[in-house]
Structure 1
Amino acid sequence: MKTTARLESALKKLYNAFHNNTLNPECCRQCAVGNILNNMDFWKHLSDSHGDLKLNYVGQIHETLGRKFNGYSPSELLKIEHIFLDACGYKLPLHYKNEKPVNPTDKDILFNGLTAVITYLCELDKVDNVMDYTKLFEIKDDNPKYALSKGL
């Protein structure tokens, strides 16, 4: 499957963060966007609340100037984080009084968040969802319709 450079980079970073236990929805450096941006937290200054979709003044300036961070615009970054937190079970925007998962670093919770984020990243780049495994089970004349690549 053909992907874009920014999608490939983001997928590798999220995959590594998930498997290296460095994915944490409550940390700006270790959340989905933090990992995509090389564990930097400057992106948190693009909005006033973690998980909010509204760009603040700083975010609007970067957006208007056409700035991209690892290939993503400020509004795309906020949407990525919003999707991640929402799929992990947070009531948004993130606030200590709002509902959140009991164990936010549980692998099942993180997997749900990553699945939602990867779906969105693929949509952004107009690429088939790399998490869609349903084609593996399609059959034609009692045989698999698609063959697995040798790497699997």
Structure 2
Amino acid sequence: MKTPKRLEEALIKLYNSFHNDELNPECCTACAVGNILDNFDSWKHLSNSHGSLELSYVGRVHENLGRKFNGYSPLELLETEKIFLEACGFKTPLCHYNPKPKNPTDKETLFNGLCAVVSHLCALDNIANVMDYSKIFEYEERNPVYKFDVIYS
């Protein structure tokens, strides 16, 4: 099965932002959606609250016109950001009095957020979760279902 272009591009951007320490859930240009949208912050106008699924007037107009941003609709982007924030330990929508993680840019925190986002993005495109490694551990009658060539150097 071929990976849709929007998914492939989003995964590459998220992978690079994670490994280059350019992922920050509290920054609209460096969060999951900010990275998917090339580090622009214009997407924040799709909602009145960061982490909300309620489209603003601008968001509703774009959604009703069928506009896509790097392949994603406004509502898909808001869903993605909400999933990212909540998987990172934030209570959404973001507000100064809502709970948040002690260190939002901790690698483990960000990894948890990215796992949830990747799962969501794959589901949007009806693709099996690319981060699901459980298949490689499947076995039948004490033998692995999938075999790998292991090269030792």
| TM norm. shorter chain > 0.5 | yes
Q: Is the 8 A contact 1:2 1:127 kept in 2?
A: no
Question: 1:31 maps to what in 2?
Answer: 31
Q: Which amino acid aligns with 1:142?
A: R
Does structure 1 residue 127 correspond to structure 2 residue 127?
yes
Alpha-carbon distance in structure 1 between the residues aligned to 2:144 and 2:55: 47
What does the per-residue CA deviation read over 1:1-51, in whole Å, with 9 as the maximum and x for residues that have no partner?
A: 531110000000000000000000000000000000000000000000000
Structure 1 position 149, deviation (Å):
7.6
Question: 2:56 maps to what in 1?
Answer: 56
Correspondence list, 1:76-115, <5 A: 76-115=76-115
Q: Which amino acid aligns with 1:70?
A: N
Alpha-carbon distance in structure 2 between the residues aligned to 1:52 and 1:136: 37
Alpha-carbon distance in structure 2 between the residues aligned to 1:7 and 1:148: 26
Q: Which amino acid aligns with 1:129?
A: N
Q: Which amino acid aligns with 2:57?
A: Y
Q: CA RMSD in A?
A: 1.3
Secondary structure at 2:131's aligned position in 1?
Answer: coil
Structure 1 position 97, deviation (Å):
1.2
Q: How many residues are matched?
A: 150
Secondary structure at 1:99's aligned position in 2?
Answer: coil
Q: Which amino acid aligns with 2:29?
A: R
Runs of 5+ consecutive residues of structure 1 not aligned to the other structure: none
Runs of 5+ consecutive residues of structure 2 not aligned to the other structure: none
Structure 1 position 144, deviation (Å):
1.9
> TM-score normalised to the size of structure 2?
0.94
Question: 2:41 maps to what in 1?
Answer: 41
Question: 2:146 maps to what in 1?
Answer: 146
